[in-house]
Amino acid sequence: MGILLNQDSRIMVQGITGKEGSFHARACMAYGTKVVAGVTPGKGGQLFDDEVPVYDSVAEAVARAGANVSLIFVPPPFAADAIAESVDAGVPLIACITEGVPVQDMVKVARYIENKPVRLIGPNCPGMINPGAQCKVGIMPGAIHMPGRVGVVSRSGTLTYEAVGQLTALGIGQSSCVGIGGDPIIGTSFVEILGLYNDDPDTDMVVFIGEIGGNMEQEAAAFIGEKMNKPVCALIVGATAPPGKRMGHAGAIITGESATAASKVKALREAGATIIPTPADIGVTAQQMLQAMG
Active site residues: 249
Q: Tell me if the bond preceding 123 is cis, omega within 30° of 0.
A: yes
Task: Report the alpha-carbon distance of residue 59 to residue 56 in Å, rounded.
Answer: 9
- The answer to whether 164 touches 174, Cβ cutoff 8 Å, is yes
CB atoms within 10 A of CB 147: 15
Nearest Cα residue to 86 out of 100, 110, 67: 67
Q: Between the CA of residue 64 and those of 45, 68, 91, what are the distances in Å? A: 12, 11, 13
Task: Report the alpha-carbon distance of residue 21 to residue 255 in Å, rounded.
Answer: 35
CB atoms within 10 A of CB 167: 25
- The answer to whether 196 touches 150, Cβ cutoff 8 Å, is no
